[in-house]
Amino acid sequence: MKTSVSALVAFVLLFGVGASTALAWSPAQDSERQTYRQDGGTATTASSIPLSYQFRLGASLNHAAATPRFYGLGGGAEASLILNKRVALGMRADGIGMLGFGITEDVSVGARGLGGVLGKAEIFLNNGGHTAPIVLEQRTRFVVGAAGGIYRIGAIGGSVSRNISEEKKEGLSGIALGGRAFGIAPQLGMEKGRIRISTLTHLIFTRDDFDPVFSVELSFRLL
């Protein structure tokens, strides 16, 4: 729980700096005044950028620093409305499955899964030298995001002491938990064209022992 609180505080500070930068920008203050062409459309000036949208699919590698350590695969989908070249709002859906195995004084095995439907906000720290909100050319942009919503979680596991008593069967233990809980998922990423690589941390606030899940995601923008 202390890890979750520390990560949350650090992210709130980082997201606040990004938000201040984004809100300070306005098209009237943009000295570039460049024109752009989106998907072969008509060139438009920076002062008349239309609302746009994007849909993204991704796959992730995931890790939970529990005992035993868990590793697994996941997938995510996002749909968002791009308000200007700095800010996007939308929804995100996640699904992750992990397996764990470890040998210390005990032999431990387990499985964990989570799924969530989250609201999300993104701030682009730069626009890759472009005025357009969506750029299909191969230029790099950096993004900070924050998602929050309801997760469905589940976990099952057990451990056997290596010094188990055959007579008393001492040293056998197990755990199973499941339910719904609120959580957040801060994100840091970099995108080039349609491809984005990012890191997410799923912080789930529950009374049960459900450790943060760290993800590295590769996603592709379809629209």
Q: Is 70 exceeded by the pLDDT of residue 93?
A: yes
Q: Is 70 exceeded by the pLDDT of residue 47?
A: no
> Would you state the pLDDT for residue 210?
80
This prediction has a pTM of: 0.71
Q: Is 70 exceeded by the pLDDT of residue 97?
A: yes
- For the segment 160-172, the average pLDDT, to the nearest whole number, is 56
Helix (H) or strand (E) run with residue 19 in it: helix 2-24
> Would you state the pLDDT for residue 164?
53
Q: Is 90 exceeded by the pLDDT of residue 196?
A: yes
Question: pLDDT-derived band of residue 34, with 50, 70 and 90 as boundaries?
Answer: very low
Q: Is 80 exceeded by the pLDDT of residue 105?
A: no
More confident residue, 131 or 35: 131
The domain segmentation of the chain, as residue ranges, is: 2-25+50-221
More confident residue, 11 or 83: 83
Other CB atoms closer than 10 Å to residue 49's CB: what's the count?
Answer: 19
Tens of pLDDT, residues 117-164: 999 999 999 876 554 545 455 678 899 999 999 999 998 887 776 665
Integer Cα distance of 20 and 2 in angstroms:
27
Give 223's contacts (C-beta < 8 A, 6+ positions apart). 53, 54, 55
Integer Cα distance of 56 and 50 in angstroms:
20
Q: Is 60 exceeded by the pLDDT of residue 17?
A: no
> Would you state the pLDDT for residue 208?
73
Q: Determine the longest span between alpha carbons in the chain, in angstroms.
A: 81
Other CB atoms closer than 10 Å to residue 17's CB: what's the count?
Answer: 12
> Would you state the pLDDT for residue 165?
53
- For 104, the 3-state DSSP assignment is coil
Other CB atoms closer than 10 Å to residue 29's CB: what's the count?
Answer: 8
What percent of the chain clears pLDDT 90, i.e. is strictly above it? 43
Window from 34-38, 83-87, 178-182, 207-211 with minimum mean pLDDT: 34-38
Burial class of residue 21 in the structure, from the number of CB atoms within 10 Å of its CB (0-12 exposed, 13-18 middle, 19+ buried): middle
Q: Is 70 exceeded by the pLDDT of residue 204?
A: yes
Question: pLDDT-derived band of residue 36, with 50, 70 and 90 as boundaries?
Answer: very low
Integer Cα distance of 173 and 165 in angstroms:
13
Integer Cα distance of 190 and 202 in angstroms:
19
- For 40, the 3-state DSSP assignment is coil
- Please identify, in words, the CATH class of the domain defined by 2-25+50-221: mainly beta
- For 135, the 3-state DSSP assignment is coil
**Residue the block writes with tokens 């032999």:** 107
More confident residue, 166 or 223: 223
Integer Cα distance of 68 and 89 in angstroms:
37
Query: Dihedral (C-alpha) 213, 187, 51, 38: value to the nearest 10 degrees?
Result: -110
